[in-house]
Structure 1
Amino acid sequence: MAVTRSDLYQRARRLIPGGVNSPVRAMRAVGLDEPLFMRSGAGALIEDVNGNRYVDWVLSWGPLLFGHADAATLAAVEEALRRGTTFGAPTEGEVELAQEIVDAVPSIEMVRMTSSGTEAAMSAVRLARAATGRDRLIKFAGNYHGHVDALLASAGSGLMTLGIPSTPGVPRGVAGETIVLPYNDVDAVAAAVARYGEGLAAIIVEPVAGNMGVVPPEPGFLEALRTLCDACGALLVFDEVITGFRVARGGAQERFGVRPDITVLGKIVGGGLPAAAFGGRAELMERLAPVGDVYQAGTLSGNPLAVAAGTSVLRRLRDPAVYEALEARGARLEAGLAPFGCVQRVGAMMTLFCQDGPVRDDADAARSDTERYGALFRHVLARGVYLAPSQFECMFVSLAHGDEEIDRTIEAVGGFFGH
């Protein structure tokens, strides 16, 4: 007899806290008693262990720009797999992927690979503190930079979804070095810099917020952060884990024309396998060991399988037609969903907020009707469409989504709203 979702969940609860290895997967926020357990994916579709198939707008939270089980990515991974899974030593593939990143991202001259976005963000903050000799950080409410102690304050989607306080288990002294400000509020940043600027190591920001739903930067916001950092000697860190290679080949910094000092990358950089990176100017990155005095390491950093997947994807992103196609698909979906709430989109990332909007910060996002969103989620799931199981996440558009999948999604959402 085939295993079922309920069977797996009962086993998982005995073995894994909450039955899941990442909290939002529990799906309690959208009114499900049991999470979905997926079995396979192909293109824009996924199939669960019960045999139900869905149009997938989560795409493993964003990295699958070419869809599930993309043939070119699989071929690259299979070729690498035959040579060995891990060496703990440098490989040619790491150099090739580093070259793709440096060629694409405007602010990056050198890059260091890691295994997760959390690890990359943590390392970027350590580097910024070492380079400036300062401790304080400015971050923005609703921005998520991984589960790093100093950055969990008001940290967006997972915490907002589950209603968990931001800093249990985090020493007060660590959290005390983090100044949390409203996103898109230039005046608040200017006031904080005036007060704390001499001790400020960095301002870290999602250049397009994706962890309170999609919230674009207002005109002048990113430029103001750059100016304020320059004025006080702090470093500007862009967390482009979501936006990198998704809103443009060079990320949000290319799209909006603002260069940070350090960039954090993830998701697409690994092509669907666990990989992330951080990078910046050469003289800054050369503060890292072994050439510099800032220690950062990782046994599986630059893993051959992840590097092969990432390189396969990034090489195909050199073609401008990729982003033209993503923009067209995103615009079609946005236009179809616009009658049903506040739709905010930047490139191939989008959120349908259950409110009138606009949403410009986490306080605005929190006014969304989360119960209504949960009902919407359940309605469309029953009709074969898989949205993010949280109001405060993104829909991710891929090249695997065609008109059929987009129109099916619009029809399912419209049915919930009586259209």
Structure 2
Amino acid sequence: MERKHTLSQELFRRAEQVLPGGVNSPVRSGRSVGVTPFFVKSAAGCRLEDEDGNVYIDYVGSWGPLIAGHAHPEVVEAVRQAATRGTSYGIPCRLEVEMAEKVVSMVPSMDMVRMVNSGTEATMSAIRLARGYTGRPKLIKFDGCYHGHSDCLLVKGGSGLLTLGIPGSPGVPDEIVSHTVSLPYNDLDAVETAFRKMGDQIACVIVEPVAGNMGTVPPAPGFLEGLRRLCDTHGALLIFDEVITGFRLAPGGAQQRFGVLPDLTCLGKIIGGGLPVGAYGGRRKIMEHIAPTGNVYQAGTLSGNPLAMAAGLAMLNILSRPGVYETLEERAAYLEAGLARAAEEAGVPVTLNRVGSMGCAFFNGEPVRDFQSALQSNTEAYGIYFREMLARGVYLAPSQFECFFVGLAHDREALDETIAAAGEALQVVKNALGF
């Protein structure tokens, strides 16, 4: 169980001199769980190898995109073939059309889609489009839901903001967020009150249909349906941020799983097959307001990049095969049951939330239904658990408030190793904190 991290520690010291905090995205720093990051040398399937030769079963999967596993041969080959034809054009290519046709065929609410380069870019652009389409200024979001780091959305966000205890961000003027209304997730009464007060000013409601940036928090029965009804009643657009849930919970994402169709959908992560890609799309009459057919401007030099289109198309073709989502459900349910059993045997209060192949183990004895109940989780216990799992070769998200992801590469052997490691790690948590 003894693992050396000499090379990773040296790389981190070097990184701190040239990268803020030694990382290119805050949650990677590992500060909230009391570690310095290891540095990956290579990855294949469900396993990572670091620069010191340590191997880990990976439940982060690049924060969700690698649903088929690291370095999937079909994705790698698609990227290789695309690269031999050129890495970027800035001119339309066939892959863009094929990718758009594939996405539109899979996502129930989409007639048209615009490719961008990240989930942040997708949500930012969708909100601009909603404001341009409706002529209204205000938007509703939900506490603990993270929609990227654009200025108007850094209000009570989850993900790294929550992990690092940052309530918003310096550099965002008050007037930028003055039109952003943040409400409790799963509280439909609060949304109804907001619409009664300012319904004619609300351009859109943006929501993670399954919250994935304060851990995994599913929608309460009727919540998504209620948002759809309120938006229809008041002439606002409903935006689903499916950057995490898109193509993970079903071929058509959360909207297919729950049977509620938004006006606009934001995508990322899986759609790029591990390369940087985002997208937003929806009904034709809305999407045609985007330039050049409309006057809502949005552009990107690398949008529709051929390497990213090739990787994403290969990934979506893999996910279109029969039995894929049944396999993901079975494996995730097996892991959930094993973790629940381990927590019960150790006598450690853990609430497991899971929807499809995404989940979270909250160190919390009460149900987790929203931002406030997620915040009641014992982050000290999670930190111990994370370190003990890492020592046993299992890599979880370095934050209590992020998801674990089960993929097609997580075979029964990997799942059983994980459950066994969890049993040992939870015993350490119990002994350390006296549960």
SS at structure 2 position matched to 1:308: helix
Structure 2: tracts of 5 or more residues without a match:
344-349, 429-435
Q: Which residue of 1 aligns with 2:431?
A: none
1:337 corresponds to:
339
Q: Hey, what does 1:300 align to over in structure 2?
A: 302
- Structure 1 segments unaligned to the other structure (5+ residues): none
Question: For 1:159 and 1:320, how far apart are their aligned partners in 2?
Answer: 38
- Superposition pairs of residues 185-196 of structure 1, within 5 angstroms: 185-196=187-198
How far the C-alpha of 1:315 sits from its partner, in A, is 1.4
1:397 aligned partner: 406
For residues 119-154 of structure 1, the C-alpha deviation after alignment (integer angstroms, 9 at most, x for no partner) is: 010000000000000010000000000001111101
Q: Amino acid of the residue matched to residue 372 of structure 1?
A: A
Question: What is the rounded CA distance, in whole Å, between the counterparts of 2:320 and 2:387 in structure 1?
Answer: 38
Superposed CA offset, 1:201-228 (max 9, x none): 0000000000000000011000000000
> Aligned partner of 2:139: which letter?
L
Shift of 1:417: 2.1
Cα distance per residue 1:36-55 (max 9 Å; x no partner): 11111010000111111000
- The residue number in structure 2 matching 1:27 is 30
TM-score (norm 1): 0.98
Map of 2:178 onto structure 1: 176
| Counterpart contact for 1:238–1:262, Cα < 8 Å | yes
Which residue of structure 1 aligns with residue 19 of structure 2? 16
Quick one: which of 388, 396, 419 aligns to 1:387?
A: 396
Where does residue 222 of structure 1 map in the other structure?
A: 224
**Shift of residue 167, structure 1, vs aligned partner:** 3.2
Q: Distance in 2 between matches of 1:330 and 1:73?
A: 23
Tell me the residue number matched to 1:157.
159
1:299, distance to aligned residue in structure 2 (A)? 0.3
- What do residues 152-186 of structure 1 show as CA deviations (whole Å, max 9, x unaligned)? 10110211110112132111111111001000001
Residues 91-136 of structure 1: per-residue CA shift (max 9 Å, x gap): 1000001011000000000000000000010000000000000010
Q: 3-state SS of the aligned residue for 1:417?
A: helix
Secondary structure of residue in 2 paired with 1:103: helix
Tell me the alpha carbon deviations over residues 345-369 of structure 1, each in whole angstroms, 9 at most, x when there is no partner. Answer: 0001010111123100010000000
Report the alpha carbon displacement of residue 304 of structure 1 after superposing the two structures with TM.
Answer: 0.4
1:354 aligns with one of 363, 378, 392: 363
1:319 Cα offset (Å) = 2.0
Query: Deviation of residue 418 (structure 1)?
Result: 2.6
Counterparts of residues 213-292 of structure 1 (less than 5 Å): 213-292=215-294
For residue 55 of structure 1, what is the aligned residue in structure 2? 57
Matched residue count:
417
For 2:386, the equivalent position in structure 1 comes to 377
User: Does the 8 A contact of 1:167 with 1:175 survive in 2?
Assistant: no
Overall identity of the aligned pairs, in % = 59
Matches of 2:284 and 2:373 in 1, distance apart? 39
Partner of 1:129: 131
Counterpart Cα distance in 1 of 2:319 and 2:49 = 27
Amino acid aligned to 1:7? E
**Contact 1:107/1:259, CA 8 A, preserved across alignment:** yes
> 1:414 is matched with which residue: 397, 409, 423?
423
Tell me the amino acid that sits aligned with residue 397 of structure 1.
V
Structure 1 window deviating more from structure 2 (195-204 vs 315-324): it is 315-324
Secondary structure of the 2:203 match is strand
Measured in 2, the distance between the counterparts of 1:237 and 1:28 equals 33
Secondary structure of the residue aligned to 2:368 is: coil
Cα pair 2:242 2:265 within 8 Å, conserved: yes
Which segments of structure 1 move beyond 2 Å, counting only runs of 4 or more?
none
- Conserved? CA contact 2:116–2:304, under 8 Å: yes
Instruction: Note the C-alpha offset of 1:196.
Output: 1.3
CA contact (8 A) 1:208 1:214 kept: yes
For normalisation by structure 2, the TM-score amounts to: 0.95
Q: State the one-letter code of the partner of 2:416.
A: D
Of stretches 303-312 and 318-327 in structure 1, the one that deviates more from structure 2 is 318-327
CA distance in 2, matches of 1:20, 1:91: 34
